Amino acid sequence: MTVTSPTPALLIEHHGDVAQVTFNRPEQINAFNEDIRQSFPQLLAAIEQEPAIRSLVLCGAGERGFCAGADIKESRQVGSLVSERRRFMPHSWIEALDRVSKPVIAAIHGICFGGGMEIALACDIRIASRDARFGLTETALGLIPGGGGTQRLPRLIGLGPALDLLLSAEKIPAEEAYRLGIVTRLAEDREDAIAHALALAATIAARPPAAVAYCKEAAISGAHLDLASGLRLEKSLFTLLMGTSDRAEAAAAFREKRPPNFTGN
């Protein structure tokens, strides 16, 4: 089954068992609007339910950037009602990424500001081109990040460096983001970043799906637990995997010196 996008603002391509989703508003530097806020969780839910898709790459269309955050023209139309402001907040739809058990890799180029950076922070792995620029710029606009930036960034790079970026609203180049650990790999340009992301996604997709999902769960959930609780979680998931067909297939393929055929069971 092939997953399709509910909107032209989000493109989806299938590369074997890897899905590539592209934010497709290049004239607005892929700034997200109400259409994307409504459609992105729907698309992610469909990807999560499709067993033929084992990993996901997110990227932005055009040469200017990954995502510039919220569409400013639309944000100016938000009224004073609390309910309306809450609807506009990005955290609820960005959190849809937290419900994806499959690995999500962001291929970032150019501008990655505000909510765009928060989307990237919600991904599991981030690869950036050397022209990428990052910034949580909300305090300069009289706001704070509303899509998880104040929570995800400190967990990723530590409280001190995160507060430096959050409070100053400064923008940093890809090399600095790499030094801080915001991104794990650098690429030459947009096409190279996407190629690197697709290659890594294909490598991960070739692993047993349950092992990948459980490893992701253990690492992410365990990061919010004390060590003893995290170790118990790891032990529990390890024990579950010992009884899977894919675990037996991995052992058999090793003995027989052949490529494994993982089914997700």
Residues β-bridged to residue 128? 108, 186
Domains of the chain as residue ranges with CATH: 10-205 (3.90.226.10), 209-256 (1.10.12)
What does the alpha-carbon distance between residue 124 and residue 25 come to, in Å, rounded to a whole number?
Answer: 23
C-beta separation of 111 from 59 below 8 A: no
Per-residue model confidence (pLDDT) at position 43: 98
3-state secondary structure of 9: coil
Element (H, E) at 85: helix 82-88
C-beta separation of 197 from 15 below 8 A: no
C-beta separation of 138 from 146 below 8 A: yes
Catalytic residue among 27, 34, 50, 138: 138
Per-residue model confidence (pLDDT) at position 257: 86
- 10-15 vs 18-23, strand pairing mode: antiparallel
Q: What is the 3-state secondary structure (H, E, C) of 100-133?
A: CCCCEEEEECEEEECHHHHHHHHCCEEEEECCCE
Q: What is the 3-state secondary structure (H, E, C) of 50-80?
A: CCCCCEEEEEECCCCEEECCECHHHHCCCCC
How many other CB atoms are found less than 10 A from the CB of residue 200? 20
Per-residue model confidence (pLDDT) at position 87: 55
Per-residue model confidence (pLDDT) at position 81: 47
C-alpha dihedral over 60, 10, 90, 70, to 10 degrees? 60
pLDDT 10s per residue in the chain (265 long)?
A: 689 999 999 999 999 999 999 999 999 999 999 999 999 999 999 999 999 999 999 999 999 999 999 998 776 555 554 455 555 555 679 999 999 999 999 999 999 999 999 999 999 999 999 999 999 999 999 999 999 999 999 999 999 999 999 999 999 999 999 999 999 999 999 999 999 999 999 999 999 999 999 999 999 999 999 999 999 999 999 999 999 999 998 889 889 888 888 988 7
Catalytic residue among 50, 118, 170, 217: 118
* Token duo for residue 56: 């996901």
Does the annotation mark 118 as catalytic?
yes
C-beta separation of 109 from 193 below 8 A: yes
User: How long a stretch of residues is the chain?
Assistant: 265
